[in-house]
Amino acid sequence: MNMSAGVHVQNDLDWSKTTFLVVDSKAMYRDMVQTALLGAGAKSVKHANSVEKAIESLTRYGQEISCVITEWDMAPVGGLELLRKIRARALPKTSPRTAVIILTARADAAIVKAAMAMDVNGFAVAPLSFEKLVKTVAHGLQRTWMLQQPAQYLALPGVDTSQPDPSKAFTAQPAAAITNAGVGVGPGTAPSRPANTPVTANKPTPRRSEQLKNVHMCILSEVRPGQVLARDLRDKDGHLLLSAGAVLKPTLIDRLRNVAEGHADSYHVWIGDRDETQH
């Protein structure tokens, strides 16, 4: 992000009243953006190195944040999903009208299209100077647009990051194959089913051909009974935890949470709703 010091931007924005949240997996880029914003006169700049940390910050300080500047392709959850959560009113203390600027090294058509549909305020495409970044942010903060209903944002398709695979975001250890009937076993773990029970007995019926609607990524605590897993769920080592197409019943959701407990504050999964018009 080839930024140079010294910011001279003419606009009507009162920077002394602006508080920013910069979300980027690279500390160097967060520091560069902070330098540019403070150089323009921003009141304060908060940092987050992941969407999970950004959500934590917005949960605590959302009402203070004027603008979120976020990298789009972080793993396991990118900036577009953070934008979706803000617009869909998923963060109570954060206004759905909070300005969001997407920071990217490539202006990919799919990213631009998805972000525009989610009412992004602007794009900062690297490499860029301090002045160009500040101008982009200023224009984004002053942009006016019509807020849509939450369901409209939730129904928009997401954009996959090229790496890593979001389906590997679930990092529970030890690896365990989770089924509709219970939790199976990974290497080196004790069996969790009666002896002589065939492994295939607990295998969920896949529904990969089924059309789903409202497909999106969410944290495990937000999953509702009856929703369908839209992608295979794997741990960080690539072991299959649960196959795509599994209907997430209350008991299965509880088992997922039990497996996850103690390994992280939250997990992200891709889920969707069954399209009843197809049945």
Contact status, residue 271 vs residue 216, Cβ threshold 8 Å: yes
Name the pLDDT band for 259 (thresholds 50, 70, 90): low
User: Same domain, yes or no, for 141 and 203?
Assistant: no
In a shared domain, residues 177 and 227: yes
Q: Which domain holds residue 136?
A: 15-154
- Single-letter code of the amino acid located at 31: D
Share of the chain above pLDDT 90, in %: 35
Looking at 105, 130, 154, the residue that finishes a domain is: 154
Domain count, the chain: 2
User: Of 125, 154, 183, which residue constitutes the final position of a domain?
Assistant: 154
Confidence band of 260 (pLDDT split at 50, 70, 90): low
The reply to whether 79 and 110 lie within a common domain is: yes
Cα–Cα distance between 222 and 224 in angstroms, integer? 6
Q: Are residues 177 and 142 in the same domain?
A: no
Residues 50 and 74 in one domain: yes
Give the β-pairing of 240-242 and 228-229: unpaired
pLDDT tens digits for range 143-172: 888 999 999 998 888 776 544 333 333 333
Q: Two tokens at 126?
A: 């690297």
pLDDT interval class at 11 (50, 70, 90): low
Question: Are residues 268 and 191 part of one domain?
Answer: yes
More confident residue, 126 or 199: 126
The share of the chain scoring above pLDDT 70, in percent, equals 68
- DSSP-derived letter for residue 213 is E
Looking at the structure, do residues 150 and 20 belong to the same domain, yes or no?
yes
Q: Are residues 180 and 128 in the same domain?
A: no
Q: Is residue 3 part of a domain?
A: no
Tell me if 131 is assigned to some domain. yes
User: Do the beta carbons of residue 269 and residue 218 sit within 8 Å?
Assistant: yes
Arithmetic mean of pLDDT over the chain: 74
Last residue of a domain, one of 154, 181, 209: 154
Burial zone of 145 (CB within 10 Å; 0-12 exposed, 13-18 middle, 19+ buried): exposed
Q: Is residue 22 part of a domain?
A: yes
Stretch 74-79: mean pLDDT, rounded?
84
Cα dihedral sign, 30-31-32-38: positive
Q: What angle do CA 250, 253, 256 make, to 5 degrees?
A: 155
Alpha-carbon distance of 167 to 76, in angstroms, equals 8
Residues 61 and 171 in one domain: no
In a domain, 182, yes or no: yes
Amino acid at the residue 242: L
66 and 105 belong to one structural domain? yes
Tell me how far apart the alpha carbons of residues 44 and 239 are, in angstroms, rounded to a whole number. Answer: 42
Q: Are residues 26 and 94 in the same domain?
A: yes
Among residues 234, 227, 37, the alpha carbon closest in space to that of 140 is found at 37
Ranges 21-25, 158-162, 169-173, 213-217: which has the least confidence: 169-173
124 inside domain: yes
DSSP string, 143-197: -------HHHHHTS-----SSS-GGG----SS---B-SS-B---TT----S-TT-
Angle at 243 between CA 236 and CA 209, to 5 degrees: 130
Q: What is the pLDDT of residue 63?
A: 94
Task: Name which of 61, 68, 57 is nearest 22 in CA terms.
Answer: 68
Q: What is the pLDDT of residue 270?
A: 79
